[in-house]
Amino acid sequence: MGQTTVAALAKEADLELVAENNRGDDLAFNIQKHKADVVVDFTSAAVVFEQAQLIIKNNARPVIGTSGLTAEQIELLKKECTARSLGAIIAPNFSLAAVLMMRYARDAAIYLPNVEIIEFHHPEKKDAPSGTAIKTAEMMSHAALRTATRKEKENSLARGMPYKNTCIHSVRLPGIIARQIVIFGGLDETLTIQQESISRHSFMPGVILCCRKVMELDKLVYGLENIL
């Protein structure tokens, strides 16, 4: 994702890539040396929170695509951004089609409360369920008339991981970049909403949009759908 982002930024006349930060590099030094306005983070769940704090502390604006931040960590980052009137964006998925999928799933959950999610990713993906699946479940859980398909305490691994009253099934296989299917069950009918990323280039329009939009913000925004 980092290499794909570097190539995508190079094509944008109004955006200037001032530095690349690799493992072992001094991020704070690079931000200060190059006077970076925005830092795009595609690291890992193990370091993303500390990286985000470091970016904010150095008055740059983080655009984070790394999964693994907890709700508590996101709230802490929101407070730090608000205190500095600094923009930030955390996006579980930068695909515009994926954001639309989540929005349509939220709307459908109002009328079809029985729903499960199947998400597919490449085997190198560290987290399961994906951030996109978790975000989708969260959005559907806020829908009116939402009822539980299965209690979270009934944690049967063969039936997926229950989260926000929705079962999430994770698949990790070679040949897959990212795909998610949201299946709703109703009376004698089903509704399926599916999105698939064929390559990592599908995420680049969202990344570029965030790099521009974050400069206009004075707070942290969680979810690409909130800036569309």
Which token pair is 162?
């229950």
Which residue among 57, 125, 151, 201 is the active-site one? 125
Pair of tokens at residue 204: 């680049």
Please provide the DSSP assignment of 128-184 as one string.
SS-HHHHHHHHHHHTSTT---SS-TT---GGG-EEETTEEEEEEE-TT-SEEEEEEE
Residue from 195, 168, 167 nearest 179 by CA: 195
The token pair at 143 is 């829908």
33 is catalytic: no
Catalytic residue among 121, 135, 169, 213: 121
Active site residue 125: yes
Angle at 222 between CA 5 and CA 42, to 5 degrees: 30
List the catalytic residues.
Answer: 121, 125
